[in-house]
Structure 1
Amino acid sequence: MTITTTKKLLGLTAAAGMIVALAGCGSAPTTDPTSDAPEEALDFLPCLVSDEGGWNDKSFNQSAKEGMDRAAAELGVTPIELESASENDYARNMETAVSEGCDLIVSVGFLLSAATVESALANPDVDYAIIDDWADNDFDGTVDAPNVKPLVFDTAQAAYLGGYAAAAWSAQAGVNKVGTLGGMQIPSVAVFMDGFALGVDKFNEDKSGAVEVFGWDVASQQGAFTGGFAANDTAKQTAQGVLDQGVDVILPVGGPIYLSAAAAIADSGDDTLMMGVDSDLAAADSSVADITLVSIMKAIDVAVFDATVAAAGGDFDPAPYVGTLENEGVKLSSFHEFEAELPDGLLDELAALQQQIIDGTITVESPNSP
């Protein structure tokens, strides 16, 4: 069962036909006689626990927070939002959420899986949702606690389109080299890299191209990783290692590490472009808009919004939600200022590929897909 999307997401240009701050702990919600929220939601307390990277990561944490904030505003409640500075904060923040009386606890990211399951098993009357993870830590194919709803995304589908676009851009320039790097090597990161590389393969197949991918090999599942999600010297050096291969498009996958990739691009003095992940990076961070070709997006905000509103209305459903191109859970952003410079016909080609993926004519086979 999927979450009903309540708002259409921003999309690509119509010509393509494509669907293109740390917050302190809040107090318990109080009744607002002027609120239009349903009466049963007034005693509802939603909570959000971040992964590393912070609420202002321009990526998955920020997107989750935006979804929670929008749901809370619509419901007329005040959420508790707990930021994790490191993995040592995961269990502690989950305990805090429970002690504060949270009715729904949403955890942001694969790395919070163990802490989420442990908390859910200990608190069967609390509803939980987790982003980018199945909450299946014993790998038996089922969620480990009956009160946890996985919110996962088949990002390889949108990344396939992104890889095709990157290859087309590089081929047009005569460079024929693109690259990628990740934060931690976990499925929610590697799935982007798989789709990206497979999209490049599709371009080469369709156009008799010779575009190479650096930083990731789908078959061996080996590539360039920073080891975390911080924008630091290690991330910059990792990005530089990929740039040194001569790529003119690079995909950094891992929240704030895009800042390190941007710094490495600036130091290189080359005209390399970057791609965003999770959110529309060009729109989220104007400082990198001039080097961001396109972003591979996940509708984390919508998934969190829908799960929160459903739980507030007593309609919490632990059945997993899987975001796809078909239900608009994943997509490409607009190409913004680069649209006029794209190879002729590329937008139509991307629209056709998207429809073929939706129809099942093309299957994007990533070992990291949900």
Structure 2
Amino acid sequence: MKKIVAFFLAVMMTASVTACGSSSTTSSTAPAASTAESKAESQAASTAAKSDFKIAMVTDTGGVNDQSFNQSSWEGLQKLSKDLGVTVKYTESKQPSDYTTNLDKAADDGNNLIWGIGFAMADAVTNAAKQNPDISYAIVDNSYGDKTPSNVTGVMFRAQEPSFLVGYIAAKTTKTGKVGFVGGQTSDIISQFEYGYKAGVAYAAKEMKKNITVDAQYAESFNDAAKGKAIASKMFNNGCDIVFHAAGGVGVGVIAAAKEANKFAIGVDRDQAYLAPKNVLTSALKLVNKAVELVSKEAVDGKQIGGKTYNYGLAENAVGIPEEHTLMGDDTYNAAIALESKIKDKTITPPANKDEYNKFVAGLK
């Protein structure tokens, strides 16, 4: 996607620094000096305040090196720290029972903003927020709707949109007419990936007047790479030549299976081609790093971020596909980019769940 890094929306405005007013004087040089000193003092005070701001991140069970959204989230905080000088830290959760303990520790450490990464932490985050009303909390991949606490921020992505694009690419690329999908834990969030992908496959199949099937299976884990490899290997053995994963660390195993079978995998969240340059066809990008960075910056700048949900998709240049497209070729890539425009202008609305998918497919007939 040609403008994927030229990010986001008017909603994510950068903060401005307002200079203090200068007093009147008859000297021609005094006002300039006073204004310059005021600006310097204001900037110094702002820098000092930001350096005192502390942000903690608690991962889900995928861990910070999941090659997916936990890692991407941490990269966003690292960039924020580099740019603004804020203190950032992460704690890994090895199992769901760690969520509450890790969130409590982050609160005890005096953090101003605490991130929970992943929808699985939804209950733990709201409980922590109730116990610590003076601390701001934010969560990736979860929305509490009109029940969002005043000190909690949700960050959501329309993951069905990039998934539709990679499904279209998979259908245009497959030689066997059979492709696969491996999900992490069964949830509404992962359904966005599954049904967006299936719809993209169906759309391309209709366009090409071909019958292309999708084999879908869930690992019920985000960190069991061995299970991901086993599931994908079976799919490849059963005739799939492309498998898309939305499974965090499980997806590392899917990509390993593709490399071993000399077939294609499709990555998720970040451009995962570096894991297997000859076998990762493309990736469904979800720029969690930018969302975490920009929402955190609003908090650092003193803006009110709580009590609402930020929702990002193609229209905000927050999701998409990588520009690199050697393995698929120019024709398929350009066709996918053309579809991107149709999604942005709502000519096409990718489905996010089974019911929406069934209606979408019915509309293709």
Same fold (TM over 0.5): yes
Which residue does 1:168 correspond to in 2? 172
Equivalent residues in 2 for 1:133-172, closer than 5 Å? 133-134=142-143, 136=144, 141-170=145-174
Which residue does 1:221 correspond to in 2? none
* Separation of aligned partners in 1, 2:275 and 2:319: 24
Equivalent residues in 2 for 1:66-77, closer than 5 Å? 66-77=75-86
Tell me the TM-score normalized by structure 1. 0.81
Which residue does 2:12 correspond to in 1? 4
Q: Which moved more, 1:61-70 or 1:47-56?
A: 47-56
| 1:3–1:303 Cα contact (<8 Å) kept | no
The structural deviation recorded for 1:348 is 2.5
Which residue does 1:323 correspond to in 2? 312
Which residue does 2:203 correspond to in 1? 202
The structural deviation recorded for 1:337 is 3.4
**CA spacing shift, 1:313–1:296, aligned 2, 3 Å:** same
Pairing partner for 1:120 from 129, 143, 149: 129
Pairing partner for 1:280 from 271, 276, 289: 271
Secondary structure of the equivalent of 1:308?
helix
* One-letter amino acid of the structure 1 residue matched with residue 63 of structure 2: G
* Separation of aligned partners in 1, 2:69 and 2:281: 19
* One-letter amino acid of the structure 2 residue matched with residue 354 of structure 1: E
The structural deviation recorded for 1:145 is 1.5
Q: Which moved more, 1:99-108 or 1:242-251?
A: 242-251
The structural deviation recorded for 1:244 is 2.9
| 1:293–1:335 Cα contact (<8 Å) kept | no
Which residue does 2:27 correspond to in 1? none
User: Equivalent pairs: percent with the same residue?
Assistant: 29
**CA spacing shift, 1:354–1:316, aligned 2, 3 Å:** same
Confirm or deny that 1:303 pairs with 2:307: no
The structural deviation recorded for 1:71 is 0.9
**CA spacing shift, 1:232–1:300, aligned 2, 3 Å:** closer
Which residue does 2:178 correspond to in 1? 177
Secondary structure of the equivalent of 1:86?
coil
Larger Cα Rg: Structure 1 or Structure 2? 2
Secondary structure of the equivalent of 2:218?
coil
| 1:183–1:226 Cα contact (<8 Å) kept | yes
Number of aligned positions between the proteins? 319
Which residue does 2:235 correspond to in 1? 242
* One-letter amino acid of the structure 1 residue matched with residue 209 of structure 2: S
Give the gaps of 5 or more residues in structure 2.
Answer: 1-8, 15-42, 357-365
Which residue does 1:365 correspond to in 2? 351
Stretches (4+) displaced over 4 A: 34-37
* One-letter amino acid of the structure 2 residue matched with residue 273 of structure 1: F
Pairing partner for 2:54 from 45, 50, 66: 45
The structural deviation recorded for 1:182 is 0.9
Coordinate RMSD, CA, aligned: 2.2
* Separation of aligned partners in 2, 1:233 and 1:302: 30
Pairing partner for 1:97 from 80, 98, 106: 106
Pairing partner for 1:345 from 318, 323, 331: 331
Pairing partner for 1:290 from 264, 278, 298: 278
The structural deviation recorded for 1:53 is 1.6
* Separation of aligned partners in 1, 2:353 and 2:150: 26
* Separation of aligned partners in 1, 2:315 and 2:250: 29
The structural deviation recorded for 1:232 is 4.0
| 2:232–2:254 Cα contact (<8 Å) kept | yes
* One-letter amino acid of the structure 2 residue matched with residue 255 of structure 1: G
Secondary structure of the equivalent of 1:142?
helix
The structural deviation recorded for 1:266 is 4.5
* Separation of aligned partners in 2, 1:353 and 1:146: 38
* Separation of aligned partners in 2, 1:105 and 1:2: 24
**CA spacing shift, 1:287–1:161, aligned 2, 3 Å:** closer
* Separation of aligned partners in 2, 1:327 and 1:117: 27
* Separation of aligned partners in 2, 1:349 and 1:59: 26
* Separation of aligned partners in 2, 1:124 and 1:287: 42
* One-letter amino acid of the structure 2 residue matched with residue 158 of structure 1: P
Pairing partner for 2:115 from 100, 106, 109: 106
**CA spacing shift, 1:52–1:37, aligned 2, 3 Å:** farther
* One-letter amino acid of the structure 2 residue matched with residue 295 of structure 1: S
| 1:113–1:130 Cα contact (<8 Å) kept | yes
Pairing partner for 2:254 from 253, 257, 261: 261
Which residue does 2:19 correspond to in 1? none
* One-letter amino acid of the structure 2 residue matched with residue 235 of structure 1: G
**CA spacing shift, 1:65–1:314, aligned 2, 3 Å:** same
Question: Which string of whole-angstrom CA distances, capped at 9 and with x for unpartnered residues, describes residues 154-179 of structure 1?
Answer: 01011101100010001xx3x11111
Which residue does 1:129 correspond to in 2? 138
* One-letter amino acid of the structure 1 residue matched with residue 101 of structure 2: R
Q: Which one has a larger percent helix, Structure 1 or Structure 2?
A: 2
